Amino acid sequence: MNGLIALSLSWLLGQTAPSTEPTEAQAASAVQAAQLEELRAQMELLQLQGEERTQQTQARLETLEQERAQEQEARQQAEQLRQQGLQSLARGQEWLATLDGLLEAGEDPIGPAVVSAQRELSDALASTADIGRGESARLIQSVLQRLGTLEDSVAQRNPDAARLQLFFASGELRSAWRMNLDQTRLPALEP
């Protein structure tokens, strides 16, 4: 208790208690404790950085999966349009054969057959243009222009000129059909 009174008196008088020098063992222990605390802080930092990288990787993975799904959907839509275009081209070719038969037989009302062929080819042109097949679309447009001249040729009593236009139109239509058959020419998708 006297020590306590002496300590409190020295404190009141502004004197400090004599400091005791730490021993070598205490100093080593304090250094180890500081190093241990520093290692713990580094471990926590590394753990936080690892968690952050994991979250970034997961977010990137989800983004890539979404992009892949969108690309797959776009390819499926392009393939569906390609198939629709092929069907319309085949029906258009059938109408050209029908028109040729009508012209060969000398039957005069070819208007409904021309309109039907133009409708099918317009559908084919729309689906072809949607999937970026420029050369095929150009050929189909040429066929449509040739069909537009048929009725004038028949009205001028020149069925041979009309049949010649059908011959060229049929060749262009076959070329467009072959181009649309090629699945490897589906358009490249932009990111």
Residue 10 CA, distance from chain mean position = 82
SS3 label, residue 6: helix
Cα–Cα distance measured from residue 65 to residue 175, given in angstroms and rounded to the nearest whole number: 38
pLDDT (average), residues 127-132: 73
Residues in the chain: 191
pTM above 0.85, yes or no: no
Single out the residue of 145, 135, 146 nearest to residue 180, CA to CA.
135
**Paired tokens of 37:** 């605390």
CATH topology of domain 77-185: Four Helix Bundle (Hemerythrin (Met), subunit A) (1.20.120)
Per-residue confidence (pLDDT) for residue 50, from 0 to 100: 93
Task: Calculate mean pLDDT across residues 155-162.
Answer: 87
pLDDT digits (tens, 9 = 90+) for 135-154: 888 999 999 999 999 888 88
136: left (phi over 0), alpha (psi -120 to 50) or beta: alpha
CA 12 to chain CA centroid, nearest Å: 81
- CA distance readout (Å), 188 to 53, 64, 71, 184: 32, 17, 10, 10
CA 146 vs. chain centroid, Å, equals 37
How many Cβ atoms are within 10 Å of 191's Cβ, its own excluded? 5
Predicted confidence band of residue 188 (pLDDT cuts 50, 70, 90): very low
Q: Which residue has the tokens 């139109």?
A: 169
**What is the model's pLDDT at position 51?**
94
Range of weakest confidence among 71-85, 131-145, 171-185: 171-185
Distance spanning both ends of the chain, measured CA to CA:
83
pLDDT (mean) for 26-51: 91
